[in-house]
Amino acid sequence: MFLRILYILLAIPITFIILHTIIRIIRYFYKFPMPQWMANVIDNPLRRRIQPPDETAIRHGIEPGMRVLEIGPGNGTYTLATARRLGPEGELVTVDIEPKMIERVQHRTKAEGITNIDARVADAYDLPFENESFDLVYMITVINEIPNIPQALAELHRVLKSSGTLVFSELFMDPDYPRAATLTRKVETLNFSLKEKIGKFFYYTLIFEKSK
Ligand SMILES: C[S@@+](CC[C@H](N)C(=O)[O-])C[C@H]1O[C@@H](n2cnc3c(N)ncnc32)[C@H](O)[C@@H]1O
């Protein structure tokens, strides 16, 4: 009996590591947006414990009254927390390439009576916004789903105000997880400079300033 429990306890992390490695290898060669049915799988109690939505909004430097853009909200848990922190004077625009994700966010926004979220279908490569129109842009476990990162970052650079901030939060549990040093190198070659790194290997946030 004891051995059986031990095998089960060992099998869970080993299965996770094997699956994670296989998915990472596939994703390294073939990038595509997360299927929409996965949105509820990644929004689970364990994740919300490791990466609490309200604390994440604070960590990102969200302040009441800002105009903020989110890329890739998934099912919107972090979107709602960010909108609450922005308050009635602030505005959160959130875009996803997958229409079903936007439908989920719109549904949740309405159900919770939140009025400062504008959720739309759009691609990070081609954002339907004016130049220099946001104080802050953030992405949570999204950047490595985008095949052409320089093209997306050029677009984020365009829509950020000159004093604007670009924020990435990444979790090791995500098969697309980039190492912080690798992501910093990529972003710093594209006219952003690292202002702050918060967190550790398993869950970190990088905050960049628009540098020119
Ligand atoms: C792994 S999910 C993360 C969802 C959410 N940010 C979270 O942390 O729970 C990545 C999201 O990015 C979206 N996405 C991927 N590529 C995109 C692109 N080029 N433009 C906009 N959204 C994109 C996907 O549709 C998906 O909703």
Domains parsed from the chain with CATH numbers: 31-210 (3.40.50.150)
Could you list the beta-strand ranges (E) of 98-202: 117-121, 134-140, 160-171, 192-200
Q: How far is the CA of 13 from the centre of ligand 1 (A)?
A: 26
* pLDDT: which is higher, 178 or 38: 178
For the chain, how big is the Rg over CA atoms in Å? 18
Tell me the pLDDT tens digit for each residue of 184-206: 999 999 999 999 999 999 999 99
- Among 42, 82, 108, 142, which is best to mutate for testing ligand 1, by the most ligand atoms less than 8 A from CB? 142
Q: How far is the CA of 113 from the centre of ligand 1 (A)?
A: 24
From residue 193, give the alpha-carbon distance in Å to each of 23, 67, 69, 187.
31, 21, 19, 8
Q: Which atom of ligand 1 is nearest to the CA of 98?
A: 25
Q: What is the pLDDT of residue 92?
A: 98
Q: What is the pLDDT of residue 105?
A: 97
Let me know: does 166 contact 210? Beta carbons within 8 Å. Answer: yes
Q: How far is the CA of 135 from the centre of ligand 1 (A)?
A: 20
Mean pLDDT, rounded, for 131-137? 98
Q: Is 81 in the pocket of ligand 1 (CB under 6 A)?
A: no
Let me know: does 162 contact 132? Beta carbons within 8 Å. Answer: yes
Mean pLDDT, rounded, for 5-30? 83
In this prediction, what percent of the chain has a pLDDT beyond 70? 100
Q: Is 143 in the pocket of ligand 1 (CB under 6 A)?
A: no
Q: Is the pTM of this model over 0.75?
A: yes
Q: What is the pLDDT of residue 40?
A: 86
- Beta strands 203-210 and 192-200: pairing type? antiparallel
Mean pLDDT, rounded, for 118-142? 98
Q: How far is the CA of 139 from the centre of ligand 1 (A)?
A: 8
Tell me the pLDDT tens digit for each residue of 31-83: 878 888 888 888 999 999 999 999 999 999 999 999 999 999 999 999 999 99
**CA 118 – CA 107 distance, rounded (Å):** 12
